[in-house]
Amino acid sequence: MRFEGISTKNFQAAVVLFLVALPLNLGVAVSSGVPVGAGIVSGAVGAIIVGMLSGSPLMISGPDAGIGVLILEMIQQLGIDKLGIIVLLAGVLQVILGAFRAALAFRIFSPAVVNGMLGGMGLIIILTQFLIMLDSKPETTGFANLAAIPGVLLKAATPTDGLTHHPAACIGILTIIVALLWNKYAQGFLKKLPAALVAILVASVATTVLHLPIQLIKVPSDFSTAVNVISIQTLLAALTDPAIWTSAATVAFVASTQSLLTAAAVDSAARGKKSNLDKELVAQGVGNIICGALGALPVAGVLLRSMANVQSGATSRSANIIHGVLIVAALLLIPSALNQMPICALAAMLVLIGCRMLNNIRQNIRDYHSSELAIVAITIIAILATNLFTGVLIGFGVAAAKELYSIAYLGIRLDVTEVPGGSILHLWGAATFLHIPRLAAVLDSVPPDADLHVRLDELSHIDHACLELLMDWAQHHREQGGEFFIDWGSFQARYRGNSLSSKYFAEPDAV
């Protein structure tokens, strides 16, 4: 690992990263159902440890809101005491994948499924954090959260004694308005201050001045209480639990996919930089092993922070590492100041992040074919109806079925031309033995004395069985007084030199 010098640009970028990441680390912890200290620990590990080992020096790693959705599901099913083990094993799997240079294998997944996964994560973030913003607990599935929103909105619409839905909603709305206005109207030096930080500061001041009875975050005053080191005995006892391994594999897959997608985006934004994706997988794995051992949240490459790093002028990994040091310093030196942040304000910022994710997905899929859009929609619906892991599997299954269908599909159309007694048979797709009954039935419908022209130039593949059928039918058709012509298109060149060439392509125009 090479550590470049700390330039003024890198230090300035580190300060911006700290201001962006600190409230988000806290917010992700809240949304994941874990103590906020776990979010700060993960942010520090992602910045310092992963930053030093990273194969993508300008990419920023830390706890992510989308993966937080997955963690919340796992905690609800398996308990928070299993979190560290799941994250540690996920890190081990990532290290193995990177060591065996498996980064390119993640490209096997259809972009439609990946965008569907990200879109589903974005919607779940919006739905769950909207409920938290209104001081209500999220449900177990996306659709359940959607169904719960109208009832919670009614409670939040009017002030009620003893309930905090209304003041929480007011602070949440205030946070969103301030963030949007700051992004739009801030000028000069003020523009450099992150909108998330400004919005949460305003919300914190308003909550304190008005003495609102809403929930505030609780940052531990002692750094040691922010970690929950897992024991060897606990780890060994969990290794025989299939649910633990399934959860670990899910975290490894989602975190790795997101990190590699983020690395590609950073390479595109920071021209001249090229990430080592396998090295990045190993770095992410090491980070998650450490996070798991400390009982913290998993880390992954985070697009928002990475783009902030690039746009702030960072030139090396030192900006990432310094911002991690600043996060640790904040936990040690100003825990009481952090404790003034309202949970609903952090949730409101995550709602905006979810909306931003959906907007990015909309940009990504705007040129998709209708069949690809259907895969995106099915994946999103499956995630909302079940969970992230099951939804992605369903999306992958639909994408695989669509590809199998396109490979096996054969289009057949018989056109009767204006030439007396003439017809044209159009074939497109893949002509295999599976389609012989259909093809034979169409051929048998051709009058005995007709001239038949067969177009093969739109075929992607034709096997021996279909060629045998065409040749046998042609011979029989000639005997009945008809003519038979084939437009071989690219097939003569494609199959030249193999057994098909000499047997069927000796006469390219007429048989």
CB 429, CB 459: distance < 8 Å: yes
Q: Which of 358, 373, 462, 389 is nearest to 141 (CA)?
A: 389
Ranges 369-378, 441-450, 473-482, 502-511: which has the least confidence: 502-511
- In a shared domain, residues 328 and 468: no
Tokens, residue 265 = 């985006």
Where is the domain boundary, 342, 364, 386?
Answer: 364
252 belongs to a structural domain: yes
Confidence of residue 490 (pLDDT cuts 50, 70, 90): low
Higher-pLDDT residue of 219, 402: 402
Confidence of residue 418 (pLDDT cuts 50, 70, 90): low
Structurally, the chain folds into a number of domains equal to 2
- In a shared domain, residues 450 and 352: no
DSSP letter, residue 229: P
Mean of pLDDT over the chain: 85
**Percent of the chain surpassing pLDDT 90:** 34
Mean pLDDT within 213-220:
82
3-class SS letters over 272-287 = CCCCCHHHHHHHHHHH
Mean pLDDT within 89-111:
88
509 belongs to a structural domain: no
Confidence of residue 287 (pLDDT cuts 50, 70, 90): very high
Give the chain's end-to-end CA distance (angstroms, integer): 68
301-to-9, 90, 92, 266, 287 alpha-carbon distances in Å = 21, 15, 17, 10, 11
- In a shared domain, residues 238 and 184: yes
- In a shared domain, residues 240 and 349: yes
172 belongs to a structural domain: yes
190 belongs to a structural domain: yes
Where is the domain boundary, 349, 364, 379?
Answer: 364
Report the CATH number at residue 429: 3.30.750.24
465 belongs to a structural domain: yes
Helix 277-293 / helix 242-269 crossing angle, nearest 10 deg: 130
| Domain span including residue 464 | 410-504
- In a shared domain, residues 241 and 103: yes
- In a shared domain, residues 344 and 454: no
421 belongs to a structural domain: yes
| pLDDT recorded at residue 389 | 74
What residue has token string 């959906």?
358
- In a shared domain, residues 355 and 418: no
For the chain, the residue count is 511
Report CA torsion sign: 321, 322, 326, 328.
Answer: positive
- Can you give the pTM of this predicted structure? 0.71
Where is the domain boundary, 340, 364, 388?
Answer: 364
- In a shared domain, residues 420 and 348: no
27 belongs to a structural domain: yes
Task: List beta partners, residue 426.
Answer: 413, 455
Mean pLDDT within 249-273:
82
- In a shared domain, residues 343 and 418: no
| pLDDT recorded at residue 421 | 56
- In a shared domain, residues 430 and 326: no
- In a shared domain, residues 340 and 220: yes
- In a shared domain, residues 477 and 346: no
Tokens, residue 227 = 């970690």
402 belongs to a structural domain: no
Tokens, residue 300 = 């992954």
For residue 383, pLDDT beyond 80: yes
pLDDT per residue over 319-332, tens digit each?
Answer: 999 999 988 888 77
